[in-house]
Chains A and B, each alone.
Chain A
Amino acid sequence: QLQLQESGPGLVKPSETLSLTCTVSGGSISSSSYYWGWIRQPPGKGLEWIGSIYYSGSTYYNPSLKSRVTISVDTSKNQFSLKLSSVTAADTAVYYCARHREDCSGGSCDNWFDPWGQGTLVTVSS
């Protein structure tokens, strides 16, 4: 059974860089048809896709965050990571990692997230 686990600091100072790692167990991060994604949820609010990465290193980012986001992958450790720079209080959220399934046929692709990690709360505060 595939499992994902987020790890990283729970408190980050304003203007600094948020760094999180997601460790995948029960399956290989190098599997075809799967990207690996980050999604966040501010307290009491909805979900926002941050970005996704393929095991080859190919990435897609949410345009609203693209200038501050870097997602990387380490296949030897079965991990992928998120860096979000110049954080403010608005970046306070529960950050989830998830397997991002891409299913392409007939010239189009369908994308969804399953399963998800348990999430980790990151608070931006001095």
Chain B
Amino acid sequence: SYELTQPPSVSVSPGQTARITCSGDALPKQYAYWYQQKPGQAPVLVIYKDSERPSGIPERFSGSSSGTTVTLTISGVQAEDEADYYCQSADSSGTYPLYVFGTGTKVTVL
């Protein structure tokens, strides 16, 4: 089955830059999406189509893609950015599409 691999945790000081990676074999052919999930809350879309930012999402959130790895970057991290982050993409190699989420990364603001 298709897997998207993320580091379990990333720690960053306020004002610094956090980078979260997501690796998957199909990422050169499929866009990636990023969701932020704070404790006890539902996920919120923060990046779509690798690097597009939905309205209402702060400019400090950005995304990029290179080969089999996509990266979510949070510039000038704030305390409110402490959350779990999940990437998501699709596996279209089968008869029907399969939508897959990454393993998740916990971002801790020191």
Contact = CB atoms under 8 A, between A and B. Distances in A.
Contacts of B31: 110
B66 interface: no
Contacts of A47: 35, 43, 86, 88, 101, 104
A47 B87 CA distance: 10
Interface residues of A, number: 25
Contacts, number: 63
B100 interface: yes
Given A112-B33, A112-B48, A46 B102 contact: yes
Indicate the size class of the contact surface on chain B: 20 to 34
Contact of A49 (B49, B94, B101, B102): B101
Interface in B96-110: 96-104
B101 A48 contact: yes
Nearest to A4: B42
Given A110-B31, A111-B97, A118 B104 contact: no
Contacts of B35: 47, 113
Nearest to A101: B48
Interface stretch (A10-18, A59-67, A70-78, A85-93): A59-67
Interface of B: 1, 30-31, 33, 35, 41-45, 48-49, 54, 86, 88, 90, 92, 94, 96-104
13 contacts: A37-B99, A39-B101, A46-B102, A47-B88, A47-B104, A63-B98, A96-B42, A110-B49, A111-B99, A113-B35, A113-B88, A115-B44, A116-B44
